[in-house]
């Protein structure tokens, strides 16, 4: 198996622990290392304050509300983000996530891998 | 043309529908063209002309009219109630005109009267009917108004929205409707004025210091008394219907979201189970078991309206099928698990059960599982104790235990503590009631 995410530090923001485990395992399988899985934006923001992160998989609707504010902050720090949502439409605040890829749940491994490769490639091109 | 003779005139007069009376200078009947069939001549001739008028004011009035005709040469008209018996009334129209004095120079007047009962009755019936319709329209919960061709309000059945009458009547209707409803409302009214075909539109009205109201407005072609084109608007408040509809849309979206999350969960469950299965048979057994634990509590959760379930119910639904008679449950019924946490708690209990069945107390007929619950500060504590079958921790139970830790610690923001005992083990699960902060 190729490791397109080798050397990338990845974060999972998802309130279902089982879905988070699966996403984390998938990222590890693609060669990434895990920064952690978090169920709320607040907890994630606290935990990564002094950590470096390259990549984030974020569910849009968490129990403590929308994750879009945190996604914005992560992007400001240069973190490549991919959004996951169970909603057909991105809720209020959707405008601020333009240019961030969005995947509808449930996500197939093939789609997720394709989007992750694109995101990492565009990140490399930026530098 | 030959003039009729006096004899002809008497015959003609006796066949007129009107009563024609000559009044003498004392205001008394001196001659009548014909007699009412119920009266004799002596009941009439020489009697004052107000004799058969029964309402005192009308008696005075007809007497005054006669005096004015006799003394001042003035004509007059009035309608009087001539006769009443119970419900039955007879009305007369009367006209009093001066006549030239007789051959002896005595003043005279002519009184012509006609039975107007039918007309008065019809008029009263119409007035009553109009009054009934007016009350009907005014008591309607709908807003009903009439607009003229320039869309000016000429009638409104009642005031509303804190408007005074002068802010409504005479005002252009357009001003009362806010955009975005205005364009459509004005176009619909104009179309009905132009085509004469009725139409219906829906409109939202913003209310100061309140949520907006929603109306369904029927536009009916109408016309004024003088035949000018108008429209009748009947606006029914459908706010509740509208809100129920909006609420239904929200529920649908919410249900769709839940289903997608559940599919994502099941998809992850399948992948995770596959990662940790050695064979397809093992996968099928583990996956089906996990799915069943989700299904059994999901069913009860849906029945609760997604509010939540008592912890003891989850324990019985998830653990009992695997533990059977080897299970002791001591969980107070007052401990509730909120809706969003029912699924992770169910899965965690399922994983503890399957681990116990494969590697723990439930693997031996002598083993027992005891589940105790207690309410703590902001969190509930569930203690799972296995006894009667000492087992070493097996590497094979690793995934189940990892899942339990993730579910409780990451998703619920709680803690899992495992203690190995001489004849078993104990898990202490701390379950915050508000989940992870």
Q: Is the pLDDT of residue B28 over 90?
A: yes
Provide ipTM, 2 decimals.
0.86
Phi, psi of A71 (to 5 degrees): -60, -45
pLDDT of residue B174: 87
Q: Give B340's contacts in chain A (Cβ within 8 Å).
A: 63
The shortest C-alpha distance from A64 to chain B (Å) reads 8
Average pLDDT over residues B415-435: 89
Q: Pick the range with the lowest mean pLDDT from B157-166, B168-177, B213-222, B337-346.
A: B157-166
Q: Tens of pLDDT along B180-224?
A: 888 999 999 999 999 999 999 998 876 666 677 889 999 999 999
Spatial contact of A38 and A13, defined as CB atoms under 8 Å apart: yes
The minimal CB distance from B264 to the residues A17, A38, A106 is found for A106
pLDDT of residue B37: 83
pLDDT of residue A55: 94
Flag whether residue A43 sits within 8 Å of chain B, measured between CB atoms: yes
Q: Is the pLDDT of residue B90 over 90?
A: no
Restricting to A residues 94-113, those with a Cβ less than 8 Å away from any Cβ of B are: 104-107, 109
DSSP string, B160-185: -TT--GGGTTTSBGGGGS-TTHHHHH
Q: H helices then E strands: how many in chain A? A: 4, 7
The minimal CB distance from B403 to the residues A18, A61, A105 is found for A18
Q: Is the pLDDT of residue A64 over 90?
A: no
Percent of chain B with pLDDT over 90: 54
pLDDT of residue B253: 84
pLDDT of residue B216: 94
Residue B72: DSSP 8-state? H
Calpha distance A121→B394 (Å, rounded): 42
Asked if B264's CB is within 8 angstroms of A21's CB, the reply is: no
Q: Tens of pLDDT along B267-318?
A: 999 999 999 899 999 999 999 999 999 999 999 998 988 889 999 999 999 9
Flag whether residue B432 sits within 8 Å of chain A, measured between CB atoms: no
pLDDT of residue B255: 85
Average pLDDT over residues B46-72: 89
Q: Give the mean pLDDT of chain B.
A: 89
Q: Tens of pLDDT along A42-62?
A: 989 998 888 899 999 999 888
Average pLDDT over residues B34-59: 87
pLDDT of residue A95: 44
Q: Give the mean pLDDT of chain A.
A: 85
> Chain B: residue nearest A39 by CA?
B411
Q: Is the pLDDT of residue A94 over 60?
A: no
Q: Write out B179-235 in H/E/C secondary structure.
A: CCHHHHHHHHHHHHHHHCCCEEEEEEEEECCEEEEEEEEEEEEEECCCCCEEEEEEE
Q: Tens of pLDDT along B315-373?
A: 999 999 999 999 999 999 999 999 889 999 999 999 999 999 988 899 889 999 999 99
């Amino acid at each position: 198996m190729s490791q397109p995410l080798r050397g990338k530090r990845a974060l999972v923001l998802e309130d279902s622990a089982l879905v988070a485990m699966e996403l984390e395992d998938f990222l590890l399988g693609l060669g990434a290392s895990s920064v952690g899985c978090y169920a709320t934006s607040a907890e994630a923001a606290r935990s990564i304050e002094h950590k470096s992160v390259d990549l984030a998989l974020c569910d849009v609707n968490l129990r403590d509300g929308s994750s879009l504010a945190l996604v914005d902050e992560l992007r400001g720090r240069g973190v490549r983000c991919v959004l996951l949502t169970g909603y057909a439409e991105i809720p209020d605040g959707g405008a601020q996530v333009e240019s961030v890829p969005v995947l509808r749940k449930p996500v197939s491994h093939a789609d997720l891998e394709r989007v992750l490769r694109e995101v990492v490639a565009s990140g490399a091109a930026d530098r | 043309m030959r003039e009729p003779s006096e004899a002809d005139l008497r015959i003609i007069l006796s066949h007129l529908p009107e009563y024609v009376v000559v009044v003498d200078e004392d205001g008394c009947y001196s001659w009548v063209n014909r007699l009412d069939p119920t009266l004799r001549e002596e009941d009439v001739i020489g009697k004052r002309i107000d004799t058969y008028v029964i309402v005192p004011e009308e008696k005075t009035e007809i007497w005054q009219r006669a005096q004015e005709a006799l003394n001042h040469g003035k004509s007059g008209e009035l309608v009087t109630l001539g006769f009443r018996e119970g419900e039955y009334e007879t009305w007369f129209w009367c006209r009093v005109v001066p006549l030239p004095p007789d051959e002896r120079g005595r003043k005279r007047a002519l009184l012509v009267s006609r039975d107007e009962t039918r007309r008065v009755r019809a008029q009263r019936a119409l007035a009553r009917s109009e009054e009934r319709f007016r009350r009907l329209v005014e008591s309607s919960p709908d807003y009903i108004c009439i607009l003229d061709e320039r869309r000016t309000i000429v009638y409104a059945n009642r005031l509303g929205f804190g408007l005074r009458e002068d802010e409504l009547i005479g005002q252009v209707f357009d001003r009362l409707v806010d955009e975005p409803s205005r364009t459509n409302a004005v176009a619909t009214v104009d179309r009905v004025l132009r085509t004469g075909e009725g139409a219906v539109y829906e409109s939202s009205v913003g209310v100061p210091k309140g949520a907006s109201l929603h109306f369904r407005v029927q536009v009916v072609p109408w016309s004024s008394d003088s035949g000018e084109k108008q429209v009748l608007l009947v606006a029914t408040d459908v706010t509740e219907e509208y809100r129920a509809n909006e609420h239904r849309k929200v529920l649908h979206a919410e249900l769709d979201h839940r289903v997608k999350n559940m599919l994502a969960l099941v998809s992850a469950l399948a992948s995770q189970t596959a990662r940790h299965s050695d064979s397809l048979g093992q996968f099928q057994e583990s996956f089906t078991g996990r799915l069943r634990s989700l299904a059994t509590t999901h069913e009860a959760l849906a029945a609760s309206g997604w509010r939540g379930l008592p912890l003891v119910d989850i324990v019985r639904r998830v653990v009992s099928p695997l533990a059977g008679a080897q299970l002791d449950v001591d969980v107070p019924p007052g401990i509730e698990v909120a809706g969003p946490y029912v699924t992770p708690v169910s899965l965690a209990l399922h994983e503890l059960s399957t681990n116990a069945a494969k590697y723990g107390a439930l693997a031996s007929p002598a083993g027992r599982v005891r589940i105790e619950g207690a309410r703590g500060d902001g969190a509930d504590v569930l203690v799972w104790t296995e006894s009667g079958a000492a087992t070493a921790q097996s590497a094979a139970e690793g995934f189940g235990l990892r899942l339990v830790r993730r579910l409780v610690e990451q998703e619920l923001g709680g803690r899992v503590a495992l203690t190995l005992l001489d004849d078993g083990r104990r898990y202490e699960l701390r379950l915050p009631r508000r989940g992870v902060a």
